Amino acid sequence: MKLSTLQEIRYGYQPKLPPALRGTISGITAETGGATESVADRKELQEIFPHTYGKPIVTLQPRGTNESSGKKRTVGVILSGGQAPGGHNVVAGLYDALKAANSTNVLLGFLGGPGGLVDDKKIEITDEIINRFRNTGGFDIIGSGRTKIETPEQFAAARQTCLNNNLDALVVIGGDDSNTNAALLAEYFLDKGDALQVIGVPKTIDGDLKNEYIEASFGFDTATRTYSELIGNIARDANSAKKYWHFIKLMGRSASHIALECALQTQPSWCIISEEVEAKKQTLNQVVAEIADVVCHRASKGENFGVVLVPEGLIEFIPEMSELISQINDLLADKAGEFAALPAGEEQVEWLTAALSPEVTGVFAALPRDIQLQLLMDRDPHGNVQVSRIETEKLLIAMVQGELEERSKKQLCPGSFSALNHFFGYEGRCAFPTNFDADYTYSLGYNAFVLIASGLTGYLSSIRRISRPADEWVAGGIPLTMMMNLEQRHGSRKPVIRKALVELDGAPFKYFASHRSEWARQTSFVYPGAIQYYGPPELSDTPTMTLRLEQGESL
């Protein structure tokens, strides 16, 4: 008997669609609301986006007639930025809708992200290709990349590629920066008088691309379940061995959504939420003292073990560290050549120490040399420090160890402290998507084509009410400019989609805050186990705790 792999079995899974997208595409029409505004910097953004600013929110309805839906179209698609589970299903949903509207329609996949658009490197996606990737993780169908289209030459090259390939529309699957690029492309094409549409799709495991109309970014569900399984495994090991403290850093470039969701799923001994640290203006020493308090309390009960969750971006939320990093980013942007000319290591550290303001020089000098050097590593494409390369979890272990030694000298803390460090990031980015992510991403892709068929540009594909069964999902789109503000990038203010941080007055954080003391005082670990793809819906189809709490549902 031939044994089937999970991959082979998942090819046959049929994702669920919202009711509005289940009929013929010619029978779906777009209903519009009133004009919209950006989240901030409205006057400046209106000047930057004169053609696309203020467009209305759109809701798709399965009634009426869209006579232009069946016209022959060529559509391009780009996977942009870091991988997220479900990306292949966005492409599959887009492909299926495009072919359902007109079987002669063509979908071109640009290779390696936005760079493929600039360089005109692409493949035509066919039945044979798409069927090998349905319901699977990864972005390997066409690859991804982090090229940012920002120079006049890049915009001109991207436009020429579209004209050369007779594109009618372009779909950009990405996070906040990628969809900012989508908004700029939509505006650029209109300014040039082109009838080329641009639609974005909200992708990021970080969970920070969301608002009232984008209730979740895809991949967050799968990634947090993957990490939570690993955290649960480690927690059970700690509870079995009863001798280690595990400090686990979790991916999430700026926001702490992943750490919060994993805490809700696993009930660790302690979890740091960066946004709370910033709101309370806690120093690094205060963050360390809180962890030491938990360690000492558990030690007093003979429990010299535990799990601490650390958000990847924590270091930027600690006030003195935030100011330090800001100054470093500005200095390395303004004097990049001077800095690069120095030998890596000690001389660069000395140069920076002399260039920093007196207020933060002491902060930098007090850091371990390894952390100092990590702060000076190559910047990300936006000129900012790459926080994933800063070993915050190791820094915390060292500082907690020092704090506990001081307390032990004063007989203020019994027991022992032995710690191990982990970083969970790439482990979750290409996992097989959960049923939720498989359904959600397929719907986002299918919906993206219907937005194109409705003549829209500069919009983000939106599926709402997603904490409910798919029979209750609502399809539509929101203007990309609606999510924007201006931020400092490479020393100047540029339009970007604002990241959605953890809201301290939101239901998910309130639930966490009301339970964390109990989890700290006594071992309360939960072991989620592996992702389930089959079985009752409450086991295989349930969305994240974050989403359910945000939608007013009980856990």
Q: What is the mean pLDDT of residues 296-306?
A: 95
pTM for the model: 0.94
- Side-by-side strand order, sheet with 29-32: 29-32, 58-61, 474-479, 459-464, 197-202, 169-174, 74-79, 106-110, 122-124
Give the integer Cα–Cα distance in Å for 475 and 472: 10
Confidence of residue 3 (pLDDT cuts 50, 70, 90): low
- Phi/psi for 31 (5° steps) reads -100, 135
Q: What is the mean pLDDT of residues 494-513?
A: 97
Per-residue confidence (pLDDT) for residue 4, from 0 to 100: 76
Residue with tokens 């339009």: 495
Q: What is the mean pLDDT of residues 40-61?
A: 97
Per-residue confidence (pLDDT) for residue 478, from 0 to 100: 97
The answer to whether the beta carbons of residues 204 and 539 sit under 8 Å apart is: no
**Would the pLDDT of 369 be above 90?**
no
Other C-beta atoms lying within 10 Å of the C-beta of residue 439: 28
User: Per residue in 304-355, pLDDT tens?
Assistant: 999 999 999 999 999 999 899 888 888 888 888 888 888 888 888 899 999 9
Give the integer Cα–Cα distance in Å for 549 and 515: 14
Partners of 423 in beta bridges: 249
Q: Which CATH number is associated with domain 6-219+433-489?
A: 3.40.50.450
Other C-beta atoms lying within 10 Å of the C-beta of residue 139: 25
Separation in Å, CA 342 to CA 287, 332, 352, 379 = 34, 12, 11, 16
Per-residue confidence (pLDDT) for residue 326, from 0 to 100: 86
Confidence of residue 79 (pLDDT cuts 50, 70, 90): very high
Q: Please report how many Cα atoms fall inside a 13 Å half-sphere around the Cα of residue 493, on the Cβ side.
A: 8
The percentage of residues in the chain with a pLDDT greater than 90, rounded to a whole number, is: 83
Per-residue confidence (pLDDT) for residue 344, from 0 to 100: 84
**Would the pLDDT of 232 be above 80?**
yes
* Choice among 168, 176, 206, 208 that is catalytic: 206
Return the SS3 of 85.
Answer: coil
**Would the pLDDT of 91 be above 90?**
yes
Confidence of residue 380 (pLDDT cuts 50, 70, 90): low
Q: Among this protein's residues, is 437 annotated catalytic?
A: no
Nearest alpha-carbon partner for 24 in 450, 500, 520, 533:
450
**Would the pLDDT of 158 be above 70?**
yes
Same fold for the pair 6-219+433-489 and 226-429+505-550: yes
Amino acid at residue number 205: I
**Would the pLDDT of 534 be above 70?**
yes
Give the integer Cα–Cα distance in Å for 13 and 153: 43
Q: Which CATH number is associated with domain 226-429+505-550?
A: 3.40.50.460
**Would the pLDDT of 1 be above 80?**
no
Q: Where are the domains of the chain?
A: 6-219+433-489, 226-429+505-550
Mean pLDDT across the chain: 94
**Would the pLDDT of 386 be above 80?**
no
Contacts of 22 (CB under 8 A, 6+ apart): 62
Nearest alpha-carbon partner for 436 in 227, 216, 161, 276:
216
In sequence order, which ranges of 126-256 are alpha helices (DSSP H)?
A: 127-130, 152-164, 176-191, 220-241
Nearest alpha-carbon partner for 528 in 156, 184, 222, 176:
222
User: Per residue in 245-277, pLDDT tens?
Assistant: 999 999 998 899 999 999 999 999 999 999 999
Residue 447: both structure tokens together: 């919906």
